[in-house]
Structure formats: structure tokens, C-alpha cells
């Protein structure tokens, strides 16, 4: 079971150099939108705090969240994350099986009641008393509720746990529902995406371990540091949108010139995620960069919003615009000075920020 | 010179509005193309461009061809008095290369040109409010009144700033 070792000790034992460790800390700080001052804080926390016990449950899902997580771009990230947290139970990664595996759950509750983080990948089906997902001889819903009752906080990994995703798409025969529909008494952090970006996943966990608190969440329960901007706002093809230059079909002149993919269905204008800034596979590329529109996989009900290849009919704006000029001014000024909040505020300021966080005042 | 470049910019986007963007569901018919508050900054021109389908912060080059070497879509960080902002390199003929930063990606919720203009003017004001490493010194003055002193703070004997 979990040892009192710190994350750093585990890393050192695995032969990871201090230089790599610090690099991981600074990459993570940058990914979280925190200034250089926070690198030391993260490093210090990881060196001194005992590892956080995590129980990782799988409901109805495809395991793409796990795949994304363990294949984080930075070579250290997978070691880092698997060392940082004491992953006491994860049926994809653990060696234990059968009764032995299920016993770990009870041991975790006994030893860490109210302290462990429950990471949920996938969601529970409610139809036929939950019979569409049976684990260890009982419905997943029961297991989820049992583990949630004793946990400290829940991370809803991916769009399944956050919104429902494909198994909850119409007509949803199994009545699959996202975690927040069945668990009401615990803090839930939604990290949507199908899957979420690896750096976002490691970033959220690192933040929780290093600062011993939940990241700031938006109205829908997503960490603001990663989900406060639409892909469209930071898209490198954005100037083509502004100039009215669109790809009309996938093999036309516009496609070759890298024009905006809005007319062929890109969901960038309505999708809140970090793809256009962090990109995927260690910053190598992302869907739009490879010539295909965003599917909007981090948004609620993205399967039920019509064809992936027809233009978004209505672009709604969240926050900001309905306010009058004075209020916008207030938000802008506040966000600029607070720094970290710049990434958070759903405001004109947050759309403009680059590295504002470096001005962050110490909290 | 300044006047010429900015009017070239608005004329160009005015044409785009009536040609390529006409009838698209992303355009707000209550708005028209307008350049707001353009002013010289570090040898360049900075201002806000309103169009029926976006509102952007725009930086125009100091001289023709200044940024021709920059790749389309590249990101450039600009330091304005209020902080650093990341802009994207854009190219539109006949203006040439300029840089922009999205303020609003959909302007459908703007009631009218007046509302859009007043927001653009506010943005320009705020951009040039100096915050030189003030580390929050300016923020408290501007914070919403109810945030100045929480109930918990009050009970602990803290004072409103």
C-alpha cells in the first residue's frame, strides 16, 4: 500500500535526476499559467509532502483518458504523475486482480478515509439498476457511490465522467449519466475532453498535490486555468476567420492554404479547451493544425450537436459581452493585476492574456 | 500616414464584410466596421478594430513591409503598459501584415455599434493604464466594492483597503 515516501524520493529512487525534476516543475508551472516564482513552491511541495492516495475508477468508457495520461509528452510526466500520486487502485495499471484488487478499495477507505482523491474515468449507467456495467459482481454505480462517500474530492476525467459523452448520446439506451448527476456531496472537478490533454491532466493533479487545494473552477466545474478560453481565441488560423477566408471543402485551394475551418464544421468557436495553446503530443500538433476542424469533444453533448462537418449555426458568447463598458473595464483591470486570475476570468482580459501570469502577486 | 493606414484597414474589412462574410450566421447586422482609438505605440499603431463578426486588438506596423518575414499565425508577445499580450501575425491584402489579438470572437450579443464602441474605448483605456510591477497595487482600488471586505475579514477585524 501507500508509503510515506515523498514524490521526490520516489523519483530519485527511480534514477531521475534533480535537473529533470526541476524541469518538470517549471514545465508544470508554465502549463498552469503560474509564474517562475511558483516553480520553487511546486518543487518544495513535491519534495516534502507525502504522496496523495488516488483511487482511479473506470465506468463506461474507452480508457482513452488513461492512455492520454500515461503518455504525457514530457518523458518525466508519466513517472512524475505515477510517483506523485499513490495510485492504489486503477484496474488498467495495477497488478492485482480479482478479490485482491477489490480488497484494496476497502483498505484505502480504512487507511485514508476522507483523504484520498477519487479519479473517475467513464460514467455509470442507471438503466436496469445499473446492470450495464458490473464490476466485482456488483453494479458500478454502487461501487462509485461507496468510494465517493469516503473520498476527499472527485476528478471527473474526460467527457464521459464530465458530461456523458458517446454512451449518453441519444437515445442513451443504458441511461449513462455523468458523475455529478449521481454524486452530490463531494467537490467535483471536471476535466473534459475525449480524452483531455495529458498536460492538463498532470497539471490538475500537480496543482492539487502541490497546493493542497482544488484549482479554481468555472461555473461548469472546469479548472479555469485550462478551460477559460475557446480554441478560436488563440487559434493560429484565426486571422483567416477575421479575413473571411474559409475552407469550403477539404480538398480546395483554401484547405491547401490553411484557411479557417469554420465552414467545414470546426467547433473551435464554441469549445473551451487548451488545444490551441498547449497542443497535443508534447506540443507537436492539434486537430486544426493537421487540417481538420475541432469536434468540440470537451463540450457537453458534443455527439448530439449535429454533423461534425456542418458549420456551427449559432456562436454564443459566454460572459463579458452582456456587461456594459464599465463592468468590462473593472474585470479587465482586476484580471491584469491579479495575474493568475487573468487565465481565469471569462472576460475580455482573459482573451488577451499571454504571459500575464508572470506578474502574479503571491497569493 | 497614420490616418491612411487605418482607413485602408477599415476599407479592407468593410469590403470583406460585404463580400466574403455576407450572410454568414456569425455576423451581427447591427454592427459595422470601425477602427477605435488607434494611437502610436513604440513606433507602431495600436487600436481596436470592430467588425460585424469580431472585435480585435490590432497592431499595425510602423512602416510597410516591417513584418513581412513573420510567418502567418505566429505568436508575438507585446508589452503594453498594462501587461504582456500575445498577438497573432495576420495578413490581409492590401493592408499587408499586421498583428491581432481576439477580444470577442462572436459579437452577436452586442446590441448596437454604440455598445461595441464604448467597450472598445474602455479596452483601449485599460490597456494603457500603467501597472509596472505593481503587484496588485492597482487592483484593490478597482475591485468590486463587495470584494473589498469579506464578512470573514470584517469579523477578523480587517479593514477595507
Could you report the per-residue pLDDT of A167-189, keeping only the tens digit for each? 999 999 999 999 999 999 999 99
Share of chain A above pLDDT 70, in %: 81
| Cis ω for the linkage preceding A171 (within 30 of 0) | yes
Q: Which residue has the higher pLDDT, B19 or A327?
A: B19
Cβ separation of B20 and A262 shorter than 8 Å? no
Number of alpha carbons in the 13 Å side-chain half-sphere of residue A179: 34
pLDDT at B130: 76
Chain A nearest C-alpha distance from B139 (Å):
5
Share of chain A above pLDDT 90, in %: 46
How many helices (H) and strands (E) chain B has is answered by 5, 6
Summarize the confidence of residues B49-66 as an average pLDDT.
Answer: 91
Chain A nearest C-alpha distance from B28 (Å):
11
Q: Which residue has the higher pLDDT, A125 or B136?
A: A125
Residue A61 · residue A122 · CB < 8 Å: yes
Cβ separation of B26 and A359 shorter than 8 Å? no
> A202 and A67 share a domain?
yes
pLDDT at A80: 62
Q: Which residue has the higher pLDDT, A297 or A46?
A: A297
pLDDT at A296: 95
Domain of A238, CATH number, reads 4.10.480.10
Give A145-168 pLDDT, tens digit per residue: 999 999 999 999 999 999 999 999
Kindly give the interhelix angle for A198-211 and A37-48, rounded to the nearest 10 degrees: 70
Residue of B nearest to A347 (CA): B103
Using a CB-CB cut-off of 8 Å, the residues of chain B touching A246 are 20
Q: Which domain holds residue A220?
A: 7-227
Q: Which residue has the higher pLDDT, A329 or A92?
A: A92
Q: Which of A313, A315, A328 sits opposite B122 (nearest CB)?
A: A328
CATH superfamily of B2-152: [NiFe]-hydrogenase assembly chaperone, HybE (3.30.1460.40)
Inform me whether the pLDDT recorded for A35 exceeds 60. yes
Inform me whether the pLDDT recorded for B91 exceeds 70. yes
User: pLDDT tier at B141 (50, 70, 90 boundaries)?
Assistant: very low
Cβ separation of B139 and A333 shorter than 8 Å? yes
User: pLDDT tier at A42 (50, 70, 90 boundaries)?
Assistant: confident
Give A241-280 pLDDT, tens digit per residue: 999 999 999 999 999 999 999 999 999 988 999 999 889 9
Cβ separation of A239 and B134 shorter than 8 Å? no
> A13 and A83 share a domain?
yes
Residue A281 in domain: yes
Residue of A nearest to B147 (CA): A334
Burial of B155 (0-12, 13-18, 19+ CB in 10 A): exposed
User: pLDDT tier at A65 (50, 70, 90 boundaries)?
Assistant: very high
pLDDT at A83: 67
A239, A84, A39: which is closest to B49 by C-alpha? A239
Going from the C-alpha of B149 to that of each of A3, A10, B138, B156, B161, the distances in angstroms are 43, 44, 16, 11, 8
> A169 and A195 share a domain?
yes
Total beta-carbon pairs less than 8 A apart between chain A and chain B: 160
pLDDT at B29: 92
Ordered by start, the domain boundaries in chain B are: 2-152
> A217 and A237 share a domain?
no
- What are phi and psi for residue B57, nearest 5 degrees? -80, 130
The neighbour count for residue B12, using CB atoms within 10 Å, is: 16
Inform me whether the pLDDT recorded for B160 exceeds 80. no
Share of chain B above pLDDT 90, in %: 37
Cβ separation of B90 and A348 shorter than 8 Å? no
Domain of A17, CATH number, reads 3.40.50.700
Which grid cell is A143?
Answer: 461501487
Best residue of A35, A233, A243 to probe chain B, by most B CBs closer than 10 Å: A243
> A77 and A220 share a domain?
yes
Inform me whether the pLDDT recorded for A129 exceeds 90. yes
> A75 and A197 share a domain?
yes
Look-up of cell digits 478597482: B142
Chain B nearest C-alpha distance from A324 (Å):
7
pLDDT at A183: 96
Cβ separation of A351 and B101 shorter than 8 Å? yes
User: pLDDT tier at A25 (50, 70, 90 boundaries)?
Assistant: confident
Summarize the confidence of residues A15-41 as an average pLDDT.
Answer: 81
> A32 and A129 share a domain?
yes
> A168 and A300 share a domain?
no
Degrees (nearest 5) of the Cα angle B100, A296, A262? 50
Chain B nearest C-alpha distance from A45 (Å):
24
Residue A157 in domain: yes
Best residue of A288, A354, A360 to probe chain B, by most B CBs closer than 10 Å: A354
> A320 and A268 share a domain?
yes
Which grid cell is B68?
Answer: 513581412
Inform me whether the pLDDT recorded for B131 exceeds 80. no
Residue A358 in domain: no
> A93 and A132 share a domain?
yes
pLDDT at B89: 94
pLDDT at A343: 27
Using a CB-CB cut-off of 8 Å, the residues of chain B touching A325 are 115, 118-119, 121-122
Inform me whether the pLDDT recorded for B120 exceeds 90. no
Cβ separation of B105 and A315 shorter than 8 Å? yes
Separation between Cα atoms, residue A203 and residue A33, nearest integer Å: 10
Separation between Cα atoms, residue A284 and residue A278, nearest integer Å: 9
pLDDT at A1: 46
Residue A37 in domain: yes
What domain count does chain A have? 2
B94 Cβ contact partners less than 8 Å away, ≥ 6 residues apart: B8, B12
> A119 and A254 share a domain?
no
Inform me whether the pLDDT recorded for B70 exceeds 60. yes
Residue of B nearest to A348 (CA): B103
Number of alpha carbons in the 13 Å side-chain half-sphere of residue A157: 30
> A218 and A272 share a domain?
no
pLDDT at A162: 97
Give A208-222 pLDDT, tens digit per residue: 888 888 999 988 999
Summarize the confidence of residues A74-81 as an average pLDDT.
Answer: 61
Which segment of A12-16, A110-114, A329-333, B21-25 scores lowest on mean pLDDT?
A329-333
Cβ separation of B144 and A338 shorter than 8 Å? no
Using a CB-CB cut-off of 8 Å, the residues of chain A touching B102 are 232-234, 238, 351-352
Cβ separation of A325 and B122 shorter than 8 Å? yes
Best residue of B20, B113, B126, B161 to probe chain A, by most A CBs closer than 10 Å: B126
User: pLDDT tier at A69 (50, 70, 90 boundaries)?
Assistant: confident
Best residue of B18, B122, B129 to probe chain A, by most A CBs closer than 10 Å: B122
pLDDT at B150: 59
Residue A43 · residue A105 · CB < 8 Å: no
Amino acid at each position: 500500500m501507500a508509503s510515506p515516501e515523498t514524490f521526490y524520493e520516489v523519483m530519485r529512487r527511480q534514477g531521475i535526476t534533480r535537473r529533470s525534476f526541476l524541469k518538470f516543475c517549471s514545465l508544470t508551472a508554465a502549463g498552469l499559467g503560474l509564474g517562475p516564482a511558483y516553480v520553487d513552491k511546486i518543487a518544495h511541495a513535491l519534495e516534502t509532502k507525502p504522496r496523495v492516495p488516488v483511487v482511479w475508477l473506470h465506468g463506461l468508457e474507452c480508457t482513452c483518458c488513461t492512455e492520454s495520461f500515461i503518455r504525457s509528452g514530457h518523458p518525466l510526466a508519466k513517472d512524475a504523475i505515477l510517483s506523485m500520486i499513490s495510485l492504489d487502485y486503477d484496474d488498467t495499471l495495477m497488478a492485482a486482480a480479482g478479490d485482491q484488487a477489490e480488497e484494496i478499495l476497502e483498505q484505502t477507505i480504512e487507511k485514508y478515509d476522507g483523504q484520498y482523491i477519487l479519479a473517475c474515468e467513464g460514467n455509470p449507467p442507471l438503466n436496469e439498476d445499473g446492470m450495464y456495467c458490473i464490476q466485482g459482481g456488483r453494479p458500478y454505480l454502487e461501487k462509485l457511490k461507496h468510494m465517493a462517500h469516503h473520498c476527499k474530492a472527485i476528478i471527473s476525467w474526460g467527457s464521459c465522467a464530465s458530461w456523458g459523452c458517446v454512451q449518453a448520446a441519444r437515445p442513451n439506451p443504458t441511461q449513462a449519466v455523468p458523475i455529478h448527476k449521481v454524486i452530490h456531496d463531494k467537490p467535483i472537478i471536471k476535466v473534459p475532453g475525449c480524452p483531455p490533454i495529458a498536460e492538463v491532466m498532470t497539471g490538475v493533479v500537480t496543482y492539487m498535490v502541490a497546493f493542497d487545494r482544488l484549482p479554481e473552477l468555472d461555473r461548469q466545474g472546469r479548472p479555469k486555468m485550462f478551460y477559460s478560453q475557446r480554441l478560436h481565441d488563440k487559434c493560429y488560423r484565426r486571422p483567416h476567420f477575421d479575413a473571411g477566408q474559409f475552407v469550403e471543402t477539404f480538398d480546395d485551394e483554401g484547405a491547401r492554404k490553411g484557411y479557417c475551418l469554420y465552414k467545414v464544421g470546426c467547433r473551435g468557436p464554441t469549445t473551451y479547451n487548451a488545444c490551441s495553446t498547449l497542443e497535443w503530443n508534447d506540443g507537436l500538433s492539434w486537430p486544426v493544425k493537421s487540417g481538420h476542424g475541432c469536434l468540440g469533444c470537451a463540450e457537453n453533448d458534443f455527439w448530439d450537436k449535429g454533423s461534425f462537418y456542418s458549420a456551427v449555426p449559432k456562436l454564443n458568447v459566454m460572459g463579458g459581452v452582456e456587461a456594459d463598458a464599465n463592468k468590462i473595464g473593472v474585470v479587465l483591470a482586476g484580471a491584469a493585476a491579479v495575474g493568475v486570475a487573468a487565465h481565469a476570468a471569462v472576460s475580455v482580459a482573459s482573451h488577451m492574456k499571454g504571459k500575464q501570469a508572470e506578474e502574479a502577486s503571491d497569493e | 500616414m497614420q490616418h491612411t493606414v487605418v482607413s485602408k484597414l477599415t476599407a479592407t474589412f468593410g469590403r470583406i464584410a460585404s463580400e466574403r462574410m455576407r450572410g454568414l450566421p456569425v455576423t451581427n447586422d447591427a454592427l459595422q466596421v470601425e477602427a477605435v482609438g488607434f494611437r502610436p505605440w513604440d513606433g507602431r499603431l495600436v487600436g481596436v478594430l470592430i467588425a460585424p463578426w469580431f472585435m480585435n486588438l490590432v497592431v499595425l506596423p510602423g512602416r510597410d513591409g516591417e513584418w513581412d518575414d513573420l510567418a502567418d499565425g505566429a505568436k508575438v508577445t507585446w508589452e503594453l503598459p498594462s501587461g504582456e499580450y500575445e498577438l497573432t501575425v495576420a495578413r490581409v491584402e492590401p493592408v499587408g501584415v499586421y498583428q491581432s489579438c481576439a477580444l470577442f470572437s462572436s459579437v452577436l450579443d452586442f446590441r448596437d455599434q454604440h455598445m461595441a464602441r464604448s467597450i472598445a474605448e474602455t479596452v483601449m483605456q485599460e490597456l494603457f493604464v500603467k501597472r509596472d510591477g505593481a503587484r496588485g497595487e492597482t487592483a484593490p482600488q478597482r475591485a468590486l466594492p463587495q470584494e473589498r471586505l469579506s464578512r470573514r475579514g470584517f469579523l477578523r477585524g480587517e479593514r477595507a483597503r
